[in-house]
């Protein structure tokens, strides 16, 4: 299916894939990159302005939807894809299914492995919360894991932004993505097949996916550059946008332009 897509700017295309339980709005602080690049962001099924057609949104189907959407917008040249957390899970499917579409990647706060038994059980508990109490309640519960300790204490505007984006999503979209993430396969073997440069970024206060785990993932990628950012958690692009944008821009200039 076609997803909601927005684009601005000119130049090499940067395609942003959002985290759970948010929408493309989480990439607002990266819109400044449209000064030098084409900024493109999509909403996954049911999130933001995209429709939801299935009960379970698999990572593979979402990757296919991204390509269908780019094709429909006549964006068929290889692009630089940026995926944060769930966006990164989708990115690995995209790398496996459509390697010819990759010019470069950024894998932020994400992992290649599947859920542990405990993590899968937590997803089904979260589906119950979303269905009984709503997506906003689930977003509220998740806030301390989505944001680092420093942000929770000293960046109230970021907390407000994340809370507001999460509150706008529907229980149906959130539940479909949770089912898709719970059922996603291990993609570790795909890492060694990725031939393009990859920027790997982790927040040192991320409690969902630890910096050490991301460093190990970076080592399995043949052409990766790893950056660990201080005083941020999982949603590091929103927590310290200037630091993230600078590091990413340097990577793009050095490795991809
Ligand atoms: C995300 O940020 O997309 C989620 O933390 C992913 C997950 O729950 O595994």
Report the pLDDT value the prediction gives residue 257, as an integer from 0 to 100: 83
Q: For residue 53, how many other CB atoms are within 10 A of its CB?
A: 12
Residues 6+ apart with CB under 8 A from 215: 202, 226, 228
Predicted local distance difference test score (pLDDT) of residue 148? 98
Distance CA 175, CA 150 (A): 29
Q: What is the rounded CA–CA span in Å between residue 250 and residue 257? A: 10
DSSP string, 51-96: ----SS--HHHHHHHHHHHHHHTT--S-EEEEEETHHHHHHHHHHH
Distance from Cα 225 to the centre of ligand 1, integer Å: 22
Q: What is the pLDDT of residue 163?
A: 98
Output the CA 154–ligand 1 centroid distance in Å: 23
Percent of the chain surpassing pLDDT 70? 100
Q: Rounded to the nearest whole angstrom, what is the distance from the C-alpha of residue 110 to the centroid of ligand 1?
A: 8
Nearest to 61 by CA among 89, 19, 40: 89
CB-ligand 1 contact for 138 (6 Å cutoff): no
Residues 17-40 have pLDDT tens digits of: 999 999 999 999 999 999 999 999
Position in ligand 1 atom list of the atom nearest CA 178? 8
Q: CA 239 → CA 39, 204, 220, 228, distances in Å?
A: 20, 12, 27, 13
Q: Which of 20, 122, 203 has most ligand 1 atoms within 8 Å of its beta carbon, as the pocket-test mutant?
A: 20
pLDDT score recorded for residue 215 = 98
The atom of ligand 1 lying closest to the CA of 208 is: 5
Phi, psi of 54 (to 5 degrees): -130, 160
How would you classify the pairing of strands 102-108 and 79-84?
A: parallel
For the CA of 86, the closest atom of ligand 1 is 3
Residue matched to tokens 């269908």: 68
Instruction: Check pLDDT > 90 for residue 248.
Output: yes
Q: Sheet harboring 13-17: ordered strands across?
A: 5-8, 38-42, 13-17, 79-84, 102-108, 198-203, 224-229
CA of 257 to the centre of ligand 1 (A): 30
Choose among 141, 149, 203: nearest CA to 166. 141
Whether ligand 1 lies within 6 angstroms of the CB of 19 is answered as yes
Is 90 exceeded by the pLDDT of residue 231? yes
If you average pLDDT over residues 110-124, what whole number do you get?
98
20 lines ligand 1 (CB under 6 A): yes
**By percentage, how much of the chain surpasses pLDDT 90?**
100
Band the pLDDT of 133: cuts 50, 70, 90.
very high
86 lines ligand 1 (CB under 6 A): yes
Collapse the DSSP code of 237 into the 3-class scheme (helix H, G, I; strand E, B; otherwise coil) and give the result: helix
Prediction pTM value: 0.98
Q: For residues 211 and 120, give the distance between their C-alpha atoms in angstroms, rounded to a whole number.
A: 21
| 26 Cβ inside 6 Å of ligand 1 | no
Task: Give, for ligand 1, the residue of 113, 208, 217 to mutate: max count of ligand atoms closer than 8 Å to Cβ.
Answer: 208
208 lines ligand 1 (CB under 6 A): yes
| Arithmetic mean of pLDDT, 74-101 | 98
pLDDT of res. 135? 96
Whether residue 250 is predicted with pLDDT greater than 90 in this model: the reply is: yes
> In sequence order, what DSSP letters do the residues of 119-166 get, joined into one string?
HHHHHHHHHHHHHHH-HHHHHHHHHHHHS-HHHHHH-HHHHHHHHHHH
SS3 assignment, position 37:
coil
Give residue-wise pLDDT tens across range 144-193: 999 999 999 999 999 999 999 999 999 999 999 999 999 999 999 999 99
Q: Which fold has domain 5-255?
A: Rossmann fold (3.40.50)
- Tell me, using a 6 A CB cutoff, whether residue 181 lines ligand 1: yes
Mutate to test the pocket of ligand 1, among 16, 18, 19, 130 (most ligand atoms within 8 A of CB): 19
2-27 average pLDDT score: 98
- Where residue 221 falls among pLDDT bands split at 50, 70, 90? very high
């Amino acid at each position: 299916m076609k997803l909601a897509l927005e684009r601005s700017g000119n130049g090499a295309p940067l395609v942003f894939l959002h985290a759970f339980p948010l929408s493309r709005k989480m990439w607002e602080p990266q819109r400044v990159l449209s000064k030098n690049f084409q900024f493109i962001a999509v909403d996954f099924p049911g999130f933001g302005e995209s429709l939801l057609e299935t009960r379970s949104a698999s990572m593979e189907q979402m990757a296919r939807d991204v390509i269908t959407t780019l094709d429909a917008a006549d964006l068929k040249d290889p692009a630089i894809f940026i995926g944060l957390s769930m966006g990164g899970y989708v990115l690995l499917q995209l790398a496996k299914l459509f390697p010819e579409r990759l010019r470069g990647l950024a894998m932020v706060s994400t992992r290649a492995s599947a859920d542990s038994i405990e993590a899968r059980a937590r997803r089904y508990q979260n589906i119950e919360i979303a269905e009984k109490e709503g997506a906003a309640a689930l977003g509220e519960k998740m806030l301390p894991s989505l944001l680092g300790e420093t942000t929770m204490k000293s960046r109230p505007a970021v907390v407000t932004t994340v809370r507001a984006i999460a509150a706008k999503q529907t229980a149906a979209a959130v539940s479909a993505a949770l089912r898709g993430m719970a059922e996603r396969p291990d993609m570790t073997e795909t890492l060694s097949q990725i031939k393009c440069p990859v920027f790997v970024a982790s927040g040192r206060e991320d409690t969902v996916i630890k910096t050490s785990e991301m460093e190990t993932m970076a080592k399995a990628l043949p052409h990766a550059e790893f950056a660990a950012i201080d005083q941020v958690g999982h949603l590091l692009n929103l927590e310290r946008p200037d630091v993230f944008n600078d590091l990413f821009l340097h990577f793009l200039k050095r490795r991809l332009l």
